[in-house]
Amino acid sequence: TIAGRAIAGVTLLCGLALFGILTSVIGRALMASLFGEEKEPEPQVIYLDAPSDDPAPVLSGLERLVVLRSAGALNDDEFERAKAQVLATGA
């Protein structure tokens, strides 16, 4: 009958899919045991704001802080906090 053929076709496709999955799992396990685990390469990290190696921004930031402290705009605690921030961010 037509319904029997349709059911047989669906069963055939499911059987093929299950057989493919089974052989894939067994094949990966065999390859891993023979050749070791496949390691994916580490992704390359790309920084949008790459830190510069140029010390000029750090120096100019420190110079601005010294000028502000000598003008009395910053006290010693504020100067130390700002200096730590300039050195940490590099600007």
Is pLDDT at 71 greater than 80 in this prediction? yes
- Measured CA to CA in angstroms, residue 38 lies from 28, 30, 32, 35 at distances of 10, 12, 7, 8
pLDDT reported for residue 21: 95
The predicted structure's pLDDT at residue 6 = 95
Query: For residue 53, what pLDDT band results from cuts at 50, 70 and 90?
Result: low
Q: Is residue 49 pLDDT above 70, yes or no?
A: no
Instruction: Answer yes or no: are the C-beta atoms of 71 and 43 closer than 8 Å.
Output: no
**1-22 pLDDT tens trace:** 999 999 999 999 999 999 999 9
Looking at residue 50, its amino acid is: A
